[in-house]
Structures are given as C-alpha cells and as structure tokens.
Copies of this chain bind each other. A is one copy, B any other.
Amino acid sequence: MNSVLNEVLMANRDYASEFDKGDLPMPPGRRFAILTCMDARLDPAKFAGLTEGDAHVIRNAGGRASDDAIRSLVISYKLLGTREWFVIHHTDCGMETFTNDIMSDLLSSSLKTASVDADGWHDCCEGPGSHEGRYINWLTIKNQAQSVLEDVVRIKSHPLVPTEIPVYGYIYDVRSGRLLEVPEASAAGR
C-alpha cells in the first residue's frame, strides 16, 4: 500500500476510534451552506467554525457557481432545508494564474508531443483543436471581488433558486485566515 493511502487510513482509524457523532440527522443543523474553493490551504470547518452536522460545504476549483454547484445548492435548499448561503473565494487562488487558452495549450501540448506517453495522458484526441480541453470553460478568475460578485448574481438569478435566500459574498485571505466581505456581492445577494 502506498504511503498517502496508508496515512489517510491510519488517520481515519484514529478519528473513528474516538467518534461520537453517529446519531446526527441528515439535514444541516445550522441550516446554511458554503460554496468555496478546493484549495488545500482552506479548511472551511475551521475558518467558519463548523462542527460535524452543521452546514453543507460545496467545493470546486475556484469556488465557482458552476451548474454543478447550483445543482448542489438547490438540493441543499429543497431537500435538506438550508436557508442561507455563502460564496467564498480566496486570495492567491490558482484560478488567477491561467486562462482558458493557456489550459487548452497546456493540455494540447501534452497530448501532441512525445511527452504524451511519459506524462501518461490518453492518446485519444490528437490533432489541433480536437481534444476536449478546448471545449471546457475552466472558470478562471481575473479579480476575486469581481468573481464573487458574478457568482452571487448567477446564483440569485438562477430560475431554480428561491428569491428569499440570502447569499453572502466573501474573500478568504490565505495570509491572515480572515474572511473579508465583498460588499457589492453581499448587497446583490440580499
């Protein structure tokens, strides 16, 4: 067994050995949900003060209001009773470091050059512009406050999102651990 897998399973054994949360109900006790980034430096339970059972946490690259995030939020509301949502992006986000074109080119060069095999990428999609990377919107970010605002507006204006849900817009500062409000986003989210 490799080391990462082994470490995770050992840590889980320790967690389970002292586990006393086996009777929690399915709906989030504090009736809210957080949409944030997958970034390794973010621990939403710690930075927002959550314990097991409190709140839904949805995470993807950037913390973006993708169709899949909205699928999750609608389920969170309609089936599991959350009534307030947070959109939290963060400083120094990887999504600011590239563009759709750069990602397409990166994937494209991996697919087309001799490094394909060494790199392990499938060889299914050769030829300029023919691979799937070019058809994906990677949801990159140019400006954090702008991306938070955009995502709050996208959520609030979605036809399956109830009008009365407040959506708060924040930026998490990876240097200080602080949540900084994006006032325009919170205003749009009311």
Contact = CB atoms under 8 A, between A and B. Distances in A.
How many copies of this kind of chain does the complex include?
A: 2
A178 to B, nearest CB: 4
Interface residues of A, number: 98
* Across the A-B interface, the 7 shortest Cβ-Cβ residue pairs: A11-B49, A19-B177, A68-B68, A28-B40, A16-B177, A120-B164, A61-B72
A-side interface mostly? loop
Nearest to A10: B49
B163 A11 contact: no
Given A4-B30, A38-B56, A41-B52, 8 more contacts: A15-B177, A24-B174, A26-B92, A29-B40, A43-B45, A45-B46, A122-B160, A122-B161
A162 interface: yes
